[in-house]
Amino acid sequence: AIQMTQSPSSLSASVGDRVIITCRASQGIRNDLGWYQQKPGKAPKLLIYGASSLQSGVPSRFGGSGSGTDFTLTISGLQPEDFGTYYCLQDGAYPLTFGGGTKVEIK
């Protein structure tokens, strides 16, 4: 199975900060990667698919980039409602695999 290594595991940032979360795949997955946000007690929410395509309704401060093995989620201008845990998910090969998650806290 493809392993997804996500970093950092947690971070604390201020409103307005630029936040960067990375995911590295153990083998190339083209651009078959999505990013999901999960708030406590809630189902995950899709933010980015195909490594860089913004899901409808998601604010444009969320952006994704990368291809092959290295991917990045950028939040440009962190907002109070952006707290939660962020996961990457590779959908390039079965079984699909998630990164370990990044917990984002607002200072």
Partner 1 sequence: EVQLVESGGGLVQPGGSLRLSCAASGFTFSDHHMDWVRQAPGKGLEWVGRSKDKSRRYSTEYVASVKDRFFISRGDSDNSLYLQMNSLKTEDTAVYYCARVSSSSGSDRLDYWGQGALVTVSS
Residues in contact with partner 1 by CB under 8 A are 1, 31-32, 34, 36, 38, 43-46, 49-50, 53, 55, 85, 87, 89, 91, 94-101
Pick between residue 17 and residue 85 the one whose CB is nearest to partner 1: 85
**How would you class 92 by CB atoms within 10 Å of its CB: exposed for 0-12, middle for 13-18, buried for 19 or more?**
middle
Pick between residue 17 and residue 55 the one whose CB is nearest to partner 1: 55
Q: Considering the complex, what minimum distance in angstroms separates the CB of residue 100 from partner 1? A: 5
Pick between residue 78 and residue 86 the one whose CB is nearest to partner 1: 86
